[in-house]
Amino acid sequence: MPKKFLVVIFVLYVIANCFNLGKLNFSYKEAKSAIISLQLNTSGNYKWQTILGKPYFKKPPLAAYYSSILFKIFGNSEFTARAGQFVFILLIVFLPLFLKEFKALDPPYFAFVFLTTAIVLMSINVYSTYAMSVFFLFLALYK
């Protein structure tokens, strides 16, 4: 495929997602992570995650801290809750280009891992915390 065609498809994807970030309904996981992040900001207790005042120890706090920082900067909205994960989706798209420059992984191994996790990421829930997890998984694969 020509590179111009791929660039046009990518730009259309980014534009379509930016317009729809705040319009789609929240899934259960998105709503739960947004509530955790909002409660971090309202309570001021950044040491412990809570859901409706009850301690929540099921997930590591990195995604909640990241979302709560975005909520403080850009305000409380559904767009802001999803925009942070959308940034990680874009980073995952550009990650093969960065890894190709550093020659950090063997191409067949990287293609196998990238294609399988990208399919899983797209089939589950795009705007949940999976995008952040997959991005850091790829960073951990450096030799």
Q: What is the pTM of this model?
A: 0.74
Q: Can you tell me the mean pLDDT for 25-53? A: 85
Domain boundaries, the chain: 3-140
Identify how many contiguous H helices and E strands the chain contains and give both numbers.
6, 2
Mean pLDDT of the residues in the chain: 79
pLDDT the model gives residue 121:
58
Q: Can you tell me the mean pLDDT for 30-47? A: 87
Instruction: Provide the pLDDT confidence category of residue 15 given band limits of 50, 70 and 90.
Output: confident
Residue with tokens 């952040």: 132
Identity of the amino acid at 47: K
pLDDT the model gives residue 125:
57
pLDDT the model gives residue 68:
92
For 83-134, how does the pLDDT look when each residue is reduced to its tens digit (9 = 90+)? 888 888 888 777 777 777 766 667 677 776 766 766 665 555 556 777 787 7
10 has a pLDDT exceeding 70:
yes
Q: Can you tell me the mean pLDDT for 36-47? A: 89
pLDDT the model gives residue 122:
59
For 49-89, how does the pLDDT look when each residue is reduced to its tens digit (9 = 90+)? 888 788 888 888 888 899 999 999 999 888 888 888 888 88
Distance CA 129, CA 140 (A): 17
Helices 107-124 and 130-140, axial angle in degrees (round to 10):
170
pLDDT the model gives residue 143:
57
